[in-house]
């Protein structure tokens, strides 16, 4: 199960620098973790999670395999992209294929780096891209209304439900608001997702600041943070320049470098975790002498579907899961201690997997 975050932004905001730092980080992880570059503009990175190291230590696992996210460096956008300006069509097509948008915003001043619109105004930059996405969604939805209305009048229940969602989304878009703000019932999510709306995707704003503001942010990033809160989005402060320098340092030198610039951890670690949280993902673990492995699922996933992430046969033939909460596994010294203390639970098909669960699946072949 792959989850993709698309990195977007206007030209010269640090988007490619950030992506290059991510892929350099991934390449550096390759000595310890599986990594592959799928295409020149796609890379996978491990999600930082100290829990897996602790589990591996207790189980004396020979290998550690963390969960991972895919980042896609999407073609740059200019005003008019919704009408095909610049690489607009490619930009919009690529964005439809990702699960979440990582929007890099320029929050630094540098006379040597020109801004495409000759001003430093991160909120205006956000609005430029948001406007293009909203225009594209408006165009897409307006073309569907007549056909949906005709089917709805004919008694097609699904078309009626889709029409209500389309009209609600159109009202928001015409008011200058993204479709993700539409209030929806849980049972409407499946139909809503089929609309393929660009502005329905969750957004993480990355405030690319100058080196001196990497730890605290600056006035520009505070404006982005306020904007993010207004729309229920998330923001992270990062200096892409610092991250690109950290990514190529030997691991032993990174801690000293981070301390020198006032950081406790690389900003990319915060970005990756924020992206993971933005997609409402959780992690469960399988642990043994061969390997300790993290698996990614969406929050609310039941045990059979979680097992299916490992192999479809596990879901098809699911019988039960042997489950230990992470805290119990650690505090009781591993599986044997948890079993002896009665903390190993047998869970059935309706069990909703919790973040951090250590699981072993029983299934019929």
Residue-wise pLDDT tens digits, 134-150: 998 999 999 999 999 99
pLDDT of residue 119: 76
CA dist., res. 86 & res. 77, Å (int): 7
Determine whether 254 is exposed, middle or buried from the number of CB atoms within 10 Å of its CB (0-12, 13-18, 19+): middle
**What DSSP line would sit under 86-151, residue for residue?**
TTHHHHHHHHHT-SEEEEEEE----TTS--TTSS--HHHHHHHHHHHHHHHHHHHHHTTHHHHHHH
Residues 124, 220 contacting (CB under 8 angstroms): no
Q: Where are the beta strands (DSSP E) in 197-355?
A: 203-208, 234-238, 281-287, 291-298, 318-324, 345-347
The candidate with the shortest Cα–Cα distance to 64, out of 72, 55, 75, is: 55
Instruction: Map out the domains of the chain as residue ranges.
Output: 4-278, 300-363
Bridge pairing between strands 318-324 and 291-298:
unpaired
CA dist., res. 228 & res. 178, Å (int): 13
Consecutive H or E run containing 306: helix 303-310
pLDDT digits (tens, 9 = 90+) for 180-191: 999 999 899 999
Question: Look-up: residue for tokens 């729309």?
Answer: 231
Residues with Cβ within 8 Å of 97's Cβ and at least 6 positions away in sequence, in order, are 4, 6, 72
Q: Which two tokens stand for residue 258?
A: 């981070």
Using 50 as the pLDDT threshold, list the residues of the chain that sit under it. 1, 28-38, 81-82, 85-88
pLDDT of residue 321: 97
pLDDT of residue 29: 46
**What DSSP line would sit under 161-216, residue for residue?**
HHHHHHHHHHHHHHTT--GGGS---GGGHHHHHHT--GGGS-EEEEEE--GGGTTT
pLDDT of residue 129: 87
pLDDT of residue 73: 85
CA dist., res. 333 & res. 327, Å (int): 10
pLDDT of residue 111: 74
- Predicted model pTM: 0.81
The 3-state DSSP class for residue 310 equals: helix
Q: Which CATH number fits domain 4-278: 3.30.70.360, 1.40.20.10, 3.30.70.20, 3.40.50.300?
A: 3.40.50.300
- Find how far residue 327's CA is from the centre of its chain: 25
For residue 262, the tally of other CB atoms under 10 A from its CB is 12
| CATH class of the domain comprising 300-363 | alpha beta
């Amino acid at each position: 199960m792959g989850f993709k975050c698309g990195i977007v932004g206007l030209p010269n905001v640090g988007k490619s620098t950030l992506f290059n730092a991510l892929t350099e980080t991934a390449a550096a992880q390759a000595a310890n973790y599986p990594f592959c570059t799928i295409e020149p503009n796609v890379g996978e990175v491990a999600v930082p999670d100290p829990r897996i190291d602790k589990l591996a230590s207790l189980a004396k696992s020979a290998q550690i395999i963390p969960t991972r996210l895919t980042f896609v460096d999407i073609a740059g956008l200019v005003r008019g992209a919704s009408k095909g300006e610049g690489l607009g069509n490619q930009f919009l097509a690529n964005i439809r294929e990702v699960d979440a948008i990582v929007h890099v915003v320029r929050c630094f001043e540098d006379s040597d780096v020109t801004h495409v619109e000759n001003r430093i105004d991160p909120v205006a930059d956000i609005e430029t891209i948001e406007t293009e996405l909203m225009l594209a969604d408006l165009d897409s939805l307006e073309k569907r209304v007549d056909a949906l209305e005709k089917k709805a009048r004919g008694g097609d229940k699904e078309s009626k439900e889709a029409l209500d969602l389309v009209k609600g989304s159109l009202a928001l878009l015409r008011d200058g608001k993204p479709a993700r703000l539409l209030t929806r019932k849980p049972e409407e999510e499946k139909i809503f997702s089929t609309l393929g709306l660009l502005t329905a995707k969750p957004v993480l704003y990355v405030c690319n600041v100058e080196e001196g503001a990497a730890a605290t942010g600056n006035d520009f990033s505070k404006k982005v943070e306020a904007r993010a809160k207004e729309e229920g989005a998330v923001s992270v402060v990062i200096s892409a320049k610092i991250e690109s320098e950290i990514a190529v340092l030997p691991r032993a030198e990174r801690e000293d470098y981070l301390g020198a610039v006032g950081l406790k951890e690389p900003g990319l670690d915060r970005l990756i975790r924020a992206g993971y949280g933005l997609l409402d993902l959780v992690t469960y673990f399988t642990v043994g002498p061969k390997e300790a492995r993290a698996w990614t699922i969406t929050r609310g996933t039941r045990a059979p579907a979680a097992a299916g992430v490992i192999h479809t046969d596990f879901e098809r033939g699911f019988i039960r899961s042997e489950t230990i909460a992470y805290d119990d596994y650690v505090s009781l010294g591993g599986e044997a201690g948890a079993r002896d203390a009665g903390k190993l639970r047998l869970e059935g098909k309706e069990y909703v997997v919790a973040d951090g669960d250590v699981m072993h699946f029983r299934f019929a072949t």
